[in-house]
Amino acid sequence: MNTNNNDVLRSMRYALDLPDAAIADMVKLAGGELAVADITGLLKKEDEADFIPCDDELLMKFLDGLIIKKRGPSDKPAVPAQLSNNLILKKLRIAFELKEDDMHDIIELGGFELSKPELSALFRSTDNKNYRHCGDQLLRYFLRGLSLRLRG
């Protein structure tokens, strides 16, 4: 079970102080479609009226658009992948050009202790014996730390 995609979208909007149009632009950069009018519903909590769930495809397009916006388009073809917390972490690492020490510091800033081998295990291939699944709580700590780092 992934962290709620809407939570990730909300966290990134807050961390980067993005207006609705910028979110729609990032989705468009990655070849997706998102009406600016729908963003308000995507940013609401599940129990609020007019809540719109953010599906995996939309979050993937947003994250890919964030990478394109921050780093420019890639000359490598996109490899289709199943969205997971590990992939969200990887895409954010790429977008913000974070090194291992940066990742470690951000997770610590978010309030969680993680050893360097545990961190590197999050980025291994799923068939690697040292692969570690990124749980919802760890992703939340990372998003919190990233927000604190970007917003001060």
Q: Where are the domains of the chain?
A: 5-151
Residue 148 has pLDDT above 80, yes or no: yes
Residue 11: name the closest of 45, 55, 49 by CA: 45
Confidence band of 2 (pLDDT split at 50, 70, 90): very low
Token pair for 110: 């978010």
Confidence band of 152 (pLDDT split at 50, 70, 90): confident
Per the listing, tokens 């921050």 go with 70
**pLDDT value, residue 3:** 52
Cα 96 off chain centre by? 11
pLDDT in tens, 43-60: 999 999 999 999 999 999
Q: Can you tell me the distance from the alpha carbon of 2 to that of 13, in angstroms, rounded to the nearest whole number?
A: 19
**pLDDT value, residue 1:** 33
DSSP-derived letter for residue 3 is P
Residue 78 has pLDDT above 90, yes or no: no
Q: Are 136 and 85 in contact (CB under 8 A)?
A: yes
**pLDDT value, residue 38:** 95
Q: Are 84 and 2 in contact (CB under 8 A)?
A: yes
Token pair for 20: 């609705």
Residue 76 has pLDDT above 90, yes or no: no
Q: Can you tell me the distance from the alpha carbon of 106 to that of 100, in angstroms, rounded to the nearest whole number?
A: 10
